[in-house]
Amino acid sequence: MGGALIFYYLMFAISLLMVVIYAYIFHKHFDANLTIMTILIPVINLGFVLMGSANTIGEALIALRLTYIGGCCVLLSSMFLIFNICGVKLPSWVRVIIVAFSAGVYATTLSIGHSDIFYQGMPDLAYAYGAAYITNKHYGFMHTIFYIMVGAFYLATVGVVIYSFFKKKQVPKSVLVLIVISISISVIGFFGGRLITHEFESLPATYNLGMIIYLIIASRLRLYDASDSVTDSLVEKGDTGFISFDNKIRYLGSNETARKMIPELQTLRIDHHIKDNGWLENNLLSWVKEYEKDNNNEQFYFERNDKIYLVKANRLLISGIKRGYQFLISDDTANQQYINLIKKYNTQLEDEVAQKTEHIIQMQEKLVMGMATMVESRDNSTGGHIKRTSDCIRILVDEIKKDNKFNLSDEFCNDLIKAAPMHDLGKIAVDDAILRKPGKFTPEEFEIMKTHAEQGARIVAKILEGTDDKEFMRIAVNVAHYHHERMDGSGYPHHLLGDEIPIEARIMAIADVYDALVSKRVYKDKMSFEQANQIIMEGMGKHFDKNLEIYYVRARPKLEEYYSQVDC
């Protein structure tokens, strides 16, 4: 056996060894192109062994056809592999065209010895360095196309590597350097060897060296792939369960952790639907329906054996196509217990704050009622005015809320009822001589009396200063300030006109006047309901808001019933 043939056998043995090594380090996330290259290189090297051992030109041509797999298939897979490493995505149709063209070029190599499209005529068989080789080769036009295709593969690969070196920050430069070395070796082996001699082929060594470099690249890329390393770590750690189903909810598989969390999986056969499998059907189908209804809802919980499990749902994607569902399950018991503890603590705090807030509100209301009662005791009314106006407001508001054309919220209505007793607080600033005068005021005295509206607004604002309920403060201030304004602008203190008067003050005006009319004062007797109603109705559109007339009319029977039962 000559030296050349020994070299070919050695290269073939090394390529087989690399297949064994690849099988040992193989990972499911390895690029498919790398697997294709690993399988084809021993086939190519076998072609060189058979060529070197050939006894006839026919045997040599069969071996020659195997060696052309390198240029047509291995170099193509190498290009696609580098594209994937560099993150360059080719459209599927482009890949199909390139693969089809390469396969077509290789198909023409089968015509060697039968047609002139790849080799013209029949070459001869010669011997050198103890091995056979093919000589007197005259190339046809398809061989030229073959060289052009190989050159295009090289140029495209080099272009992508150079672009990635300067533009792609997510591609490690150490990997790019290894790719450059591999490409350089391939170029030297493919073209350089032919320039030196046709009697001995250096390509087997070139392919083996390139494959060694690609195996190094593959092992390095696994370190850089965060998604793969995280997934593998989760699986290895053993505390995360994985379940997969296809689009028809047929079981595709799970890991041991998932089967421990959900024992029903242990009896479920691969490719079987989960129907009639009690727990799985009830829970997993609901997860799928909820996930499909709202993709933002990707998390679910279930409890088993005093454990709380978190389920994260995702679509099972294969080549970008939705082929099913994936569920990741983890024990979330400790986290949920912590969250429940925090919620319980927060609820306790909220209850305590609510109790203290309620206590403060009650104190505030008692203070307000105390001041209102004190003012009322200085006034010349018969007493009870502040309570009656609050009840009167409640009766009016109940009617307004029935059709709610004023769009009043429940909070607004409650605040108005609470604010009603504060409407006359400003009278505390009026001198007793005027406030308790039994007869009619002089013009000067009336001007002083009218100041109670602005004084009331100031006092209410001061009392409620710092309160968190700003809306209640606004309503209470407005009630005190504007309850003597009139719709025609003849009221006081600012002669507001129509809707310039806040709605709370317009409602308060009706309640305040009605109570004054049907109540006894030291300077007058109480009016009959008919007389009071006549005055109120005559004031609609002038003194009172005409839009509130319908609600007053509806409330009148309840007002008369109420005032018939109270001492006024």
Three-state secondary structure readout of 209-266: HHHHHHHHHHHHHHHHCHHHHHHHHHHHHCCEEEEEEECCCEEEEECHHHHHHCHHHH
What is the three-class DSSP state of 545?
Answer: coil
In 250-332, alpha helices (H): 256-261, 278-293
Q: How confident is the model at residue 101 (pLDDT cuts 50, 70, 90)?
A: very high
| Predicted local confidence at residue 82, as pLDDT | 85
Percent of the chain whose predicted confidence (pLDDT) is above 90: 28
* CA 138 to each of CA 51, 109, 123, 151: distance values in angstroms, whole numbers, following the listed order: 18, 13, 7, 20
Point out the least confidently predicted range of 94-108, 216-230, 373-387, 471-485.
Answer: 216-230
The whole-number pLDDT of residue 369 equals 65
Does residue 319 register a pLDDT over 70?
Answer: no
CATH topology of domain 3-224: Rhopdopsin 7-helix transmembrane proteins (1.20.1070)
Sequence spans of domains, the chain:
3-224, 230-331, 350-565
- Candidates 199, 78, 226; CA nearest to 133 is 199
Q: How many residues in the chain?
A: 568
C-alpha to C-alpha distance for 507 and 400, rounded to whole angstroms:
10
pLDDT of residue 522: 66
Q: How far apart are CA 269 and CA 292, in angstroms?
A: 25
Question: Percent of the chain at pLDDT above 70?
Answer: 87
CA-to-CA distance for 545 and 491, rounded, in angstroms?
Answer: 13
Tally of CB atoms within 10 A around 343: 10
Structure tokens at 142: 């398809």
Q: Which residue has the higher pLDDT, 53 or 387?
A: 53
SS3 content of the chain, % helix, strand, coil (to 5): 65, 10, 25
Residue 382 has what pLDDT? 45
- Please state whether 541 falls in left (phi above 0), alpha (psi between -120 and 50) or beta: left
Q: How confident is the model at residue 226 (pLDDT cuts 50, 70, 90)?
A: very low
pLDDT tens digits, 273-286? 877 777 887 888 88
What distance in Å separates the CA atoms of residue 212 and residue 122, rounded to the nearest whole number?
36
Question: pLDDT at residue 222 above 70?
Answer: no
Query: Cβ distance 420 to 390 under 8 Å?
Result: yes
- pLDDT at position 349 over 90: no
Q: What is the pLDDT of residue 233?
A: 54
The interaxial angle of helices 529-539 and 503-518, nearest 10 deg, is: 150
- pLDDT score at 182: 78
The residue ranking higher by pLDDT, 372 or 10, is 10
| Domain at 230-331: CATH code | 3.30.450.20
**Cis peptide before 42, with omega less than 30 degrees from 0?**
no
What is the three-class DSSP state of 268? coil
- Check residue 364 and give its pLDDT: 63
Q: What is the pLDDT at residue 149? A: 92
Q: Residue 527 in 3-state DSSP?
A: coil
Mean of per-residue pLDDT scores for the chain: 83
Residue 296 has pLDDT above 70, yes or no: no
Mean pLDDT computed over 400-420: 90
Question: What are the angstrom distances between the C-alpha of 389 and each of 78, 160, 507?
Answer: 91, 86, 11
Q: Give the distance between the most distant pair of CA atoms in the chain.
A: 143
pLDDT tens per residue, range 103-133: 999 999 999 888 999 999 899 888 888 888 8
Quick one: CA dihedral 243, 248, 250, 253, positive or negative? negative
Q: pLDDT tens across 39-56, in order?
A: 999 999 999 999 989 999
In this model, does residue 380 exceed pLDDT 60? Answer: no
DSSP state of 411: H
Q: Give the helix ranges, DSSP H, for 68-110.
A: 69, 75-85, 92-109
- pLDDT tens digits, one per residue of 159-210: 888 888 887 766 677 777 777 787 777 777 766 655 556 677 888 888 888 8
Cβ atoms of 533 and 517 closer than 8 Å: no
Between these two residues, 503 and 211, which has the higher pLDDT value? 503
Inform me whether the pLDDT recorded for 383 exceeds 60.
no
Contact 134, 124 (CB under 8 A): yes
Residue type, 160: V
Residue 439's pLDDT is what?
A: 74
DSSP 8-class letter at 540: B
Q: What is the 3-state secondary structure (H, E, C) of 34-49?
A: HHHHHHHHHHHHHHHH
Whole-number pLDDT of residue 544? 94
List 544's β-bridge partners, or say none: 540
Q: Is the pTM of this model over 0.85?
A: no
Residues contacting 303, CB < 8 A, separation 6+: 309
CATH fold for the domain made of 350-565: Hypothetical protein af1432 (1.10.3210)
pLDDT digits (tens, 9 = 90+) for 434-464: 877 777 788 888 888 889 999 989 988 888 8
- Comparing 370-374, 403-407, 435-439, 449-453, the range with the smallest average pLDDT is 370-374
Please tell me the least confidently modeled range out of 61-75, 341-355, 533-547: 341-355
**Cα separation values, 429 from 376, 449, 451, 458, Å:** 13, 9, 9, 11
Residue 428: predicted pLDDT: 82
Rounded to the nearest 5 degrees, what angle is found at the Cα of 524, between the Cα atoms of 522 and 529?
125
- Is residue 79 within 8 Å of residue 95, measured between CB atoms? no
